Structure 1
Amino acid sequence: MLQAFFIAWLGVIAAQASPGPNMFAVAEAALGQGRRTALMVVAGINTGMLVWATGVAIGLGALFEELPVLLTALKFLGAAYLIYLAYKGLKAAITPGGSTVRAAKSRLSDIAAWRRGFLVIMTNPKAALMWSAVATFLFGMELSNAEVLAFGPLAVASGVAIYGTYALLFSTGVATRVFQRFWRIIEAMFGVAFGALGTMLFFSGARDFRP
């Protein structure tokens, strides 16, 4: 079991460390609203990660295989949410007045920041596919449902470390000063990144309808 956990964990760590919606959400929160908000986004992401881990342990991955339309629906849902975040970022970038994005954007409450992180990962079909692949591998190694379920906290631990590190790095004094100076450009870049990811997801979902 430990060997299977270690191999699966390496794959999860690689996915967590790579750029994507989760990292962008944490970085945007850290730069624009500070460390506390970013850490609440991290908490939301890791809560969602635990939900995905629990879901695939009890058969959600098999359900996606039986009903691929569910994954397609998730793609459209994820696309809509990412495009919404893109709209918020681009709107902040062109809002007149205020010397920083903190002035241009209303500050997220702790609950709202947690919800943002949770929704980012729960509407990400790549998360569904990754966790389905992890479950398939672990079940293929003849682990029980309980043992697959036990893998979840291990993945959350690395998620806390990796995304927490991003939150700390992007909320340092140097990062904040750079953001204070170039916040419109940086916020526009986040908006474009979220928009590009959302558009890619939308077209990926649209391709699922092709015969």
Structure 2
Amino acid sequence: MELAGLILFSSALFVAAASPGPGIAAIVARVLGRGSKEAIPFSIGIALGDVVWLTFADLGLATLAQAFHEIFLVVKYAGAAYLLYLAYKIWTAPVVARDVEAQAGTEHPAKLLLGGLALTLGNPKTIVFYLALLPTILDLTRITVLGYAELVGATLSVVGVVFAGYIVLDARARQLFATPMAIRILNRTTGALLAGAAAAVASR
């Protein structure tokens, strides 16, 4: 596809991906509450969800998505429930004075990836971008297989840069919390962020 179109798409996606929403709130809370290690597979799941919606938009399956609205509702509420589960775990995590990195969780990467994927598939902001706004940015009827591959590459690159930036900044901020009281405040704050992200997903 034309370079100008790819740049326009990447720029619009960067703004959409970097703007605060349930996905970013979940990543921030994940890093602050459990460290950057678990945030990586979680972020990969979110990025794969973007590819799913990009594929739907590229193949003209927006109507199909509407036809299976109930299925996507189930996915949406499953994602919200998972965020509430994470919020509860972080809110009730035991607090002791030790290196905050030692408090990282041990959830299986596959579980984290699926959690991120479910969150994106039920995230209204992502759905609106790919199914409603993307057709106004690109002429989807003229995208070839190579063009689709370029869009997927651009999508993964853009959201990867955005998520990596949030993860690095939040990981540095997390090092400021070392005392039991600071860790308790951190846990309660990140738990509240996750609960808020869950509410945002479920209410739209």
**TM-score normalised by structure 2 residue count:** 0.77
Give the aligned partner of residue 129 of structure 2. Answer: 130
Q: Could you tell me whether the CA contact under 8 Å between 2:21 and 2:125 is conserved in 1?
A: no
1:18 CA drift (Å): 1.5
Q: Distance in 2 between matches of 1:110 and 1:66?
A: 32
Q: Secondary structure at the match of 1:178?
A: coil
1:65 CA drift (Å): 4.2
Give the aligned partner of residue 53 of structure 1. Answer: 54
Give the aligned partner of residue 113 of structure 2. Answer: 114
Q: 1:33 to 1:193 in 2, by over 3 A?
A: closer
Q: Secondary structure at the match of 1:171?
A: helix
User: 42-51 or 73-82, which moves further after superposition?
Assistant: 73-82
1:134 CA drift (Å): 4.2
Q: 1:114 to 1:11 in 2, by over 3 A?
A: same
Q: Distance in 2 between matches of 1:6 and 1:155?
A: 11
Give the aligned partner of residue 209 of structure 1. Answer: none
1:128 CA drift (Å): 1.9
Q: 1:35 to 1:121 in 2, by over 3 A?
A: same
Q: Number of paired residues? A: 199
Percent identity of equivalent pairs: 24
Q: Distance in 1 between matches of 2:71 and 2:41?
A: 28
1:7 CA drift (Å): 2.3
1:85 CA drift (Å): 2.7
Q: 1:38 to 1:79 in 2, by over 3 A?
A: closer
Q: What is the CA RMSD across the aligned residues, in angstroms?
A: 2.9
Q: Secondary structure at the match of 2:142?
A: coil
Structure 1 portions without partners, runs of 5+: 205-211
Q: Could you tell me whether the CA contact under 8 Å between 1:135 and 1:148 is conserved in 2?
A: no
Q: Distance in 2 between matches of 1:148 and 1:137?
A: 16
Give the aligned partner of residue 207 of structure 1. Answer: none
Structure 2 portions without partners, runs of 5+: none
User: Is the aligned partner of 1:99 residue 2:100?
Assistant: no
Q: Distance in 2 between matches of 1:46 and 1:186?
A: 26
User: 14-23 or 52-61, which moves further after superposition?
Assistant: 52-61
Deviations 1:3-41 (A, max 9, x none): 333222222101111122322333333334333333333
Q: Distance in 1 between matches of 2:109 and 2:78?
A: 23
Give the aligned partner of residue 31 of structure 1. Answer: 32
1:78 CA drift (Å): 3.6
Give the aligned partner of residue 187 of structure 2. Answer: 187
Q: Distance in 2 between matches of 1:23 and 1:127?
A: 12
In structure 1, what residue type is equivalent to 2:177?
Answer: F
1:170 CA drift (Å): 1.9
